[in-house]
Amino acid sequence: MNVLILQHGLKRLPLSALLRSTLLTLVFSFFTISNAVATELIKVSSDPWEPWVLGEEGGVASGGIAVDLSNELFRRLGLSTETKIYPYKRCINQMKSGERDLLLMVKRTPEREIYMLFSDVAATDPQLIYYSTDHYSEFSWKSWEDLKGYTIAGVRGFDYGGFHQAASDLNLNFELAANDTQNIKKLLSGRVDLILLSQSTANFYLKSNPEVAGKLIAAERIVTNAEFHFGISKSGNATLHLDNINKMLSEMKQDGSLYSILGQGVTP
């Protein structure tokens, strides 16, 4: 039998055993490297936003439409995700610095294109003006001028399309809160007259608070039909996946899985 003599320790190791040991080491290393590539982590950020992103600031998202969509899309791409919740301003700063890779359900704007790439449209969601029947029997509007004299609330950092310019030009009474839930409570208590609210968020709130049914009503005219994308930090690690993200979004639309995930009145 062939043997390998090790001088320092006077051990004799069969050559075949050494080859087997070396081969096993190489195989283990191959699968370790392959597994590391297959489970590349995409660091995802969002602010808390029902029903899209559920959870508390500073923690890991516990669920939500956008989280489910992101998890399924990247699972199909062989990538893992970690979705953490931060204040929206910090999310934007993370995209600028590359601290995190991807921002969920973000609108595309020229300013954001400086530091983010954008996927194809993942979902659309009508944004409407809501009123409380405890304070108005009905409400309708046809032009921005019709909103004069009302106190209107929105969420800080959220883009409401042409409303922002109209509010500035017409000096509308427009105030901002940290989130939609605060604004809904202010509306129902009469502290504001009207609120800007996404249809999906209103539907989720009404489902979770059935006692409000019939009190939180949307005016018929749409403020804007928001188009949401995955925002990818140009300084992050997900830029190389943009083409595959778009291909997978298309596949998920074709097989119906994207529509199934969105649900709850959100129109993809």
Residue 53 is predicted with a pLDDT of 95
Which domains are present in the chain?
41-123+227-262 (3.40.190.10), 126-225 (3.40.190.10)
φ/ψ (deg, to 5) at 177: -125, 175
Of all residues in the chain, the percent with pLDDT exceeding 90 is 75
Cβ-based neighbours of 70, under 8 Å, separated by 6 or more: 44, 81, 83, 102, 104, 230
Task: Tell me the pLDDT tens digit for each residue of 126-163.
Answer: 999 999 999 999 999 999 999 999 999 999 888 899 99
Angle among Cα 156, 186, 124 to the nearest 5 degrees reads 50
